[in-house]
Amino acid sequence: MRTALLQSSGRPGSVAENLKVLDEAAGRAAAAGAGLLIAPEMFLTGYAIGDDIARLAEPADGDSADAVAEISSRHGLALAYGYPERDGETVYNSAQLISADGTRLANYRKTHLFGCFERDHFTPGERSVVQAELNGLRVGILICYDVEFPENVRAHALAGTDLLVVPTAQMHPFQFVAESMIPVRAFENQMYVAYVNRVGQEGEFEFIGLSTLAGPDGVARTRAGRGEELVFADTDPAFLAAAREANPYLKDRRPGLYGSLV
Ligand SMILES: NCCCCC(N)=O
């Protein structure tokens, strides 16, 4: 499946403008034969928007989700995007996967919140492995900081995730995560990892781009630079199966020796 990574911060604070950016990128991705377009963490509203997070937060099936579903079905490709999710009085840092016909497939609530900014504005999710089937692949979702905990990605590997989608808001000085950690996560867990970042200065944060899709051989299939970009890479189930035969980490595990890490 051809996968498109939308490296962009859109227009922080304007859902309408961000939906336009998503719509335009979806058209380009569909024209390039992509079956999935992934947008960054909090793409729908912006990340460093302070109290506007709570003001702009919507339910997983709210009007903005309907608008994203319409974009998916009109262009005929699946979409994954980050947004602030409202559930009653609670606000989560969430990411949703919508199918090419506009069906909501999966909604994930960020379980590992980063720093006081996120802890001041969000409640952490409590479900670590969220997946859906898409075009013959089992797709899982994590958000930015989540992927830096090896336990989270290993849990996805043990649950059969083939492609891990990671909407991200990664800032300076954490360039090494995209450059080194993401390829290692993909290799040690024998999956594809698509890590899709914001760019540019937003409040106190300098977002660093470097969006990457890494394969189960630990090789980056594509990596963006530091600016607004739409990059593409293919995920291949046959290649994945062969890689898992060649690198049987999951088969060779010895959980009985891992104590509390099991
Ligand atoms: N490397 C820690 C920064 C994570 C930022 C984020 N949005 O989770």
∠ CA 220-222-224, rounded to 5°: 120
pLDDT in tens, 203-245: 999 999 999 999 999 999 999 999 999 999 999 999 999 999 9
259 in a structural domain: no
Within 46-123, residue ranges assigned H as helices are 52-56, 63-75, 115-121
Which tokens belong to 219? 């090789």
pLDDT in tens, 5-44: 999 999 999 999 999 999 999 999 999 999 999 999 999 9
The CATH number of the domain holding residue 127 is 3.60.110.10
260 in a structural domain: no
230 in a structural domain: yes
211 in a structural domain: yes
pLDDT band at 153 (very low <50, low <70, confident <90, very high): very high
Helix (H, G, I), strand (E, B) or coil at 58: strand
147 in a structural domain: yes
State the catalytic residue, choosing from 85, 110, 118, 202: 110
Percent of the chain with pLDDT over 90: 98
Unique residue bearing structure tokens 């409590």 = 126
Q: How high is the ipTM of this complex?
A: 0.98
What is the rounded distance in angstroms from the CA atom of residue 61 to the CA atom of residue 69?
A: 10
135 in a structural domain: yes
- The structural domain count of the chain equals 1
CB-based pocket (< 6 A), ligand 1:
41, 114, 144-145, 148, 169-170, 174, 177
Strand partners, 138: 133
pLDDT band at 261 (very low <50, low <70, confident <90, very high): confident
9 touches 48 (CB < 8 A): no
- For residue 246, the CA-to-ligand 1 centroid distance in Å is 32
**Mutate which of 114, 118, 176 to test ligand 1's pocket (most atoms within 8 Å of Cβ)?**
114
State the catalytic residue, choosing from 58, 85, 118, 144: 144
Q: What confidence score (pLDDT) does residue 114 get?
A: 98
What is the rounded distance in angstroms from the CA atom of residue 54 to the CA atom of residue 231?
A: 31
Q: What confidence score (pLDDT) does residue 262 get?
A: 56
Domain extent at residue 23: 2-251
262 in a structural domain: no
256 in a structural domain: no
What is the rounded distance in angstroms from the CA atom of residue 3 to the CA atom of residue 167?
A: 13
Task: Taking residues 163-170, report their average pLDDT.
Answer: 98
pLDDT in tens, 61-93: 999 999 999 999 999 999 999 999 999 999 999
